[in-house]
Amino acid sequence: MSSFKVRTDLALEVRENMEENARECRGVSVEEEYREESELKITKVVIETMNGAKAMGKPVGTYVTLEAPAMILPDEDYHEEISGELARQLKQIIPGLEGELSVMVVGLGNRDVTADALGPNVVDNLTITRHMMKEYGKAAFDKKKVHMVSGLVPGVMAKTGMESQEIIKGVVEKTKPDVVIVVDALAARSTRRLNRTIQLTNTGIHPGSGVGNHRNAITEEALGVPVIAIGVPTVVDAATIVGDAFDKMMRQAGEEPLDIQDELMAGLGELYNMYVTGKDVDYEIKQISHIICDALNSALEAGA
Amino acid sequence: MSSFKVRTDLALEVRENMEENARECRGVSVEEEYREESELKITKVVIETMNGAKAMGKPVGTYVTLEAPAMILPDEDYHEEISGELARQLKQIIPGLEGELSVMVVGLGNRDVTADALGPNVVDNLTITRHMMKEYGKAAFDKKKVHMVSGLVPGVMAKTGMESQEIIKGVVEKTKPDVVIVVDALAARSTRRLNRTIQLTNTGIHPGSGVGNHRNAITEEALGVPVIAIGVPTVVDAATIVGDAFDKMMRQAGEEPLDIQDELMAGLGELYNMYVTGKDVDYEIKQISHIICDALNSALEAGA
Amino acid sequence: MSSFKVRTDLALEVRENMEENARECRGVSVEEEYREESELKITKVVIETMNGAKAMGKPVGTYVTLEAPAMILPDEDYHEEISGELARQLKQIIPGLEGELSVMVVGLGNRDVTADALGPNVVDNLTITRHMMKEYGKAAFDKKKVHMVSGLVPGVMAKTGMESQEIIKGVVEKTKPDVVIVVDALAARSTRRLNRTIQLTNTGIHPGSGVGNHRNAITEEALGVPVIAIGVPTVVDAATIVGDAFDKMMRQAGEEPLDIQDELMAGLGELYNMYVTGKDVDYEIKQISHIICDALNSALEAGA
Amino acid sequence: MSSFKVRTDLALEVRENMEENARECRGVSVEEEYREESELKITKVVIETMNGAKAMGKPVGTYVTLEAPAMILPDEDYHEEISGELARQLKQIIPGLEGELSVMVVGLGNRDVTADALGPNVVDNLTITRHMMKEYGKAAFDKKKVHMVSGLVPGVMAKTGMESQEIIKGVVEKTKPDVVIVVDALAARSTRRLNRTIQLTNTGIHPGSGVGNHRNAITEEALGVPVIAIGVPTVVDAATIVGDAFDKMMRQAGEEPLDIQDELMAGLGELYNMYVTGKDVDYEIKQISHIICDALNSALEAGA
């Protein structure tokens, strides 16, 4: 048993890494569903109380995870199945969809770094309707109900000099959407989950896993409107991978890792800001962007 | 003499297309300078009065044009000469540069359309300092004077559902720069000027050449801070090209074009939203983006 | 009636621009089919003899054109209909598909110029199998019949210093595919056809419309294996647009255009190497690339 | 002391990881030079004999390494210093430069994966002359001596279905360059060297570090013309990072790592095909591409 700091954006992984008994903590409910034919596993973690939030290190709210080992295989029918399920989950979690909504979809991340381009890719391919609605009204769509969809790719701080939060907040105050949906690449703990898992939450984005710095959170509290976040783990923190491999080996060797924990951390200093990705990251990001884009288009599309 | 509607974003071309006598209109001053060794022509048009603005169809303000036929040749020394001159002109036109400024550079246009990607390209390669100044102050730069530079690529309405003005205005109100510099691809009247001319103005951007619709202007009036615009003609409107060729031929044939003007316009209907660009547009946009980026970095760089 | 030189890569447009009586020329057969529900028009021009080839200014062979005004609308079901039809036509025109083929798909054009990026886009998204077949054989696919598909993006001469033909020929001789399929952006005569027409031919690619210069043809004669070409008109030559508009107006004015034909041509000199594209060229190229890619994947996919 | 398999493409790192006494092996000569003012370290390793090659696990030939910790800082003067030095080294290692050469520069790697896009980026920005020389001769350049430069971006096997070697070989046989220069992203052993080191060698590229599989080597033996390789470490193999961290810790703890070496390797199985890159990989790759491109343009430019 190690105290090596878990660095993951997935509620699912936080829970997996808790002690057996800690998992049964109050204020956190878990539902699991498995679709055998599609090998799709859906896990819904609801953090109901502040106690639960403290135990999990994540804010109160709903976290739905879709896991499918074959997510990035080149099989279009299978993609439709996953994006169909994601659309169903989106319809449940986006508040106000029964009426007509104005929704801003924000693609976080750096479009010039393959593993970080998920958000920009999704927004680039989204069906955008706000400008048509503003110009021509519903007449342009020949539908009874049309949601106004807008899209924003704020870019990353190294290239804009601004926090994403500042940019989003400014645009939200000016264009007044009812809901913001943020799409982002996440860090997972395990390489096994890379590009095979989609997390959906109504708690927004908390850079640094909600620890400390709330300055840059992209949340309802910060923006004044509900924030839904769609995240996909596309990288693993390099120090985490080393730490995990180390723990595993120590345990197999019957040793107690704690003793040299400090040296470990010091030795990993050069891994700061280093990430692990797979060789086919371009192909996988493209596939999973399509899945999310299709799901958003379907969940937000004009109703007959 | 034809009444065919001039469609150009260049003050220089407006003036060229005015009648000889009209050019001498009051309220418009013109200075020209020619650097023989570099074949660089600098024209400064100052529209001083409302009368001048009416005659020119452009707002009161300063318009500096740099023309160089060899602008896009692969000669780095020559690039430095042009970008050096552009930097000098920028230093004169940006208000407040003698103190410490917070400057937001906005790259307008569609990064996925080669001829329209000038603005995004420039911002992508700019030296951004605002986040470093916010985090570490001038210490990070070891200079006496540092301007805070931020960059924004708002995207185009078809992809965002929002006017560029809405996005920029929101971000300006949130991050409060002292000056906004907008970089944009323009429409010229003549193919001869494509990617060989840079226009600098302190009047901002007026979509639709300032005629009518002020809703989307990116100007000091709209944003509340001075707006400098850097524009390069990268396309010619297809209908303009046909109309001009037609006028020219009619005149050569000694005919009066006015008679069939209406048929002409009707016949050109299918050219609506069509643009003319050159075959080497990718190479030329890349070259001219570098020139503008270098000039901005030089004009805005930290002082010793 | 004008002698203004038609510049088009579409056999269909060549025929439209022929005199009424010339159309009935021997050695050229034409079949048309119209699918009302999908507004899809299929035209099959077969040039059977050298006389027909001379009359058409195109080599002996089959030219199938799919025209659909709604081709680039964001309607996925409709895309599937068009790509399904294109797949059917491909299966008829690719020789040897009843057996197991080795097919090299070549994406011509410049990936950095939006209107010219069609070929590279298609190859980027194609299902490639040759390396898997070489490494693992059919076992990797669990199918009775698998075609070996490879893909090549040779780039353009300004960036490679080599003719596309040289590159393709070298790679064909080394990897020995049975068939080459070339995907390319074409020039049309009319803006109406831009990104709404797909031409399929078994005569390969003849730069400069087969006039004179055969040095760079990408044809069976040059490569030693059958060459199928898939082309989409994405640009109109700027001089062609002006010439056509001019002809039309002259005719409407009851004048004879021939008299000032020479001045016209001289006046258009500056339009050399200039092209006309639409404002939404990025979106339209993306859509049509998907259609062609899906059709190729379907026509070449492993059989059960 | 561990037997953990070193995976590095840098001759320099191979040598660093050899035992003290082994370094002094026969058949390998080493020269080091340090430029204090620019903090540039130049190391020249010459493997002279088969014994040396065996000891180093690299073929006989010359390996020059330029190391500069500040290589990717945004300082254009410093870039010019490094690219100037690289140009000098290139002039020494490219055979036949005193006459007129036909040189093909090949950019290996995947342009859609940021860390692997170095080669394609360099070729995209290179000054290409072969087509001009073929068409107009030296007259086009107004120089006494002009090298014919061509460029090729073959793409990666997952997207082409072909080995890079097959493509290059085919094009070499067809266009007959005198020399091939290959630019590629490499794997380093240490994150400290990422994007701060350039290796130059006249031994070409040996996928899999020359161990076993010679099928895909891009070497003089394979292509029939001399092959110069320019490589930059842009990634570290994930398993290597874990293995190294492990070794280091074991040593610090005074333990003998060999005992659990096997478990280690088994535990790292999931890291197969995973790579470690830095957060600013897009910026760094862009900078270093410019340096290499400038050096190549300078070394190959037409002489007065």
Between CA B234 and CA B237 the distance in angstroms is: 10
Size of interface C-D (CB pairs under 8 A): 98
Of C115, C66, C109, the C-alpha closest to C278 is: C115
Which candidate from C238, C249, C268 shows the least CB-CB separation from B263?
C249
CA dist A40 and A70 (Å) reads 9
3-state SS string for chain C: CCCCCCCCCCHHHHHHCCCHHHHCCCCEEEEEEEECCCCEEEEEEEECCHHHHHHHCCCCEEEEEEECCCCCCCCHHHHHHHHHHHHHHHHHHCCCCCCCCEEEEEECCCCCCHHHCHHHHHHHCCCCCHHHHHHHHHHHCCCCECCEEEEECCCCHHHHCCCHHHHHHHHHHHHCCCEEEEEEEEEECCHHHCCCEEEEECCCECCCCCCCCCCCCECHHHHCCCEEEEEEEEEEEHHHHHHHHHHHHHHHCCCCHHHHHHHHHHHCHHHCCEEEEECCHHHHHHHHHHHHHHHHHHHHCCEC
Q: Which of A245, A264, A271 is the closest to D268 by Cβ?
A: A245
Tell which of C159, C237, C282 to mutate to test the B interface (max B CBs under 10 Å).
Answer: C282
Q: How confident is the model at residue B30 (pLDDT cuts 50, 70, 90)?
A: very high
Any residues with CB less than 8 A from the CB of A271 and at least 6 apart, and which? Answer: A238, A239, A242, D191, D241, D245, D276
- D219 vs chain C: nearest CA distance in angstroms? 17
User: Under the phi-then-psi rule, with left for phi > 0, alpha for psi from -120 to 50, and beta for the rest, what region is A297?
Assistant: alpha
**φ/ψ of residue D57, rounded to 5:** 70, 25
Q: Which has the higher per-residue pLDDT, D292 or A19?
A: D292
Asked if residue D73 belongs to a domain, the reply is yes
Whether chain C has a CB inside 8 Å of the CB on D256: the answer is no
Contacts of C160 in chain D (CB under 8 A): 128, 131, 150-152
B203 contacts B59 by C-beta, under 8 angstroms: yes
Contact C241 B246 (CB under 8 A): no
Q: Does D173 touch chain C (CB under 8 A)?
A: yes
B contact chains, 3+ CB pairs < 8 A? A, C
Torsion of CA D241, D246, D248, D252, to 10 degrees: 160
Q: Is residue C28 part of a domain?
A: yes
The per-residue pLDDT of chain B, averaged, comes to 86
- Of B186-190, B206-210, D159-163, D178-182, the poorest mean pLDDT is in B206-210
C2 is a domain residue? no
- Of all residues in chain D, the one with the smallest CA distance to A243 is D242
> What is the per-residue pLDDT for A272?
75
Please give the biggest Cα pair distance in chain A. Answer: 70
Checking if the pLDDT of D266 tops 70, the result is: no
Q: Is residue D2 part of a domain?
A: no
Q: Using one digit for the tens of pLDDT, what is the confidence trace for C186-202? A: 988 888 889 999 999 99
| A266 interfacial to chain D (CB closer than 8 Å) | no
D151 touches chain C (CB under 8 A): yes
Q: Do D241 and A246 touch (CB under 8 A)?
A: no
pLDDT at D180: 98
CATH number at residue C154: 3.40.50.1450
Distance CA D48, CA D62 (A): 8
pLDDT in tens, B85-143: 999 999 999 999 999 999 999 999 999 999 999 999 999 999 999 999 999 998 888 88
- Domain, as residue range, for C16: 11-299
Q: What percent of chain C has pLDDT over 90?
A: 59
User: What whole-number distance in Å separates Cα of residue D87 and Cα of residue D292?
Assistant: 8
If we measure between CA atoms, which residue out of D292, D303, D301, D298 comes closest to residue D106? D292
Lowest average pLDDT, out of A55-59, B264-268, C215-219, D125-129, goes to: B264-268
Residues in chain B within 8 Å Cβ distance of A131:
157-158, 160-163
- Domain presence at residue B248: yes
CA distance B209 to chain A (A): 20
The complex scores an ipTM of 0.90
What's the mean pLDDT in A153-165?
96
A168 in any annotated domain: yes
**Can you tell me the mean pLDDT for C233-249?**
81
As a whole number, mean pLDDT of residues C38-52 equals 92
Question: Average of pLDDT values for B242-263?
Answer: 66
pLDDT score for B2? 34
- Taking the CA of residue D127 and the nearest CA in chain C, the distance in Å comes to 8
C160 touches chain D (CB under 8 A): yes
How far is the first Cα of chain A from the last one, in angstroms, to the nearest whole number? Answer: 56
Which tokens sit at C90? 């491909």
Q: Domain count of chain D?
A: 1
Of C225 and C77, which is predicted with more confidence? C225
Tell me the per-residue pLDDT of C135-159, one tens digit each, with 9 for 90 and over. 999 888 888 899 999 999 999 999 9
Nearest-angstrom CA–CA distance, A240 and A243 = 5
Do residues D274 and A278 make contact, with C-beta atoms less than 8 angstroms apart? yes
Give the position of tokens 């002082």.
B303
Find the distance separating the first CA and the last CA of chain D, reported in whole Å: 56
* pLDDT for the residue numbered B37: 84
Q: Mean pLDDT of all residues in chain C?
A: 86
pLDDT at C48 over 90: yes
Q: If pLDDT is split at 50, 70 and 90, which confidence band does C211 have?
A: very low
Residue of B294 and C37 predicted with greater confidence: B294
In a domain, B6, yes or no: no
User: Is the pLDDT reported for residue A181 higher than 60?
Assistant: yes
Poorest-pLDDT segment among D95-99, D153-157, D206-210? D206-210
pLDDT band at A189; cut points 50, 70, 90:
confident
Lowest mean pLDDT among A188-197, B200-209, B250-259, D185-194: B250-259
- Would you say residue D4 lies in a domain? no
Mean pLDDT lowest for which of A2-16, C23-37, C125-139, C198-212?
A: A2-16
Yes or no, beta carbons of C279 and B281 under 8 Å apart = no
Share above pLDDT 90 across residues of chain B, in percent, rounded to a whole number: 59
- B4-13, D176-185, D281-290: range with lowest mean pLDDT: B4-13
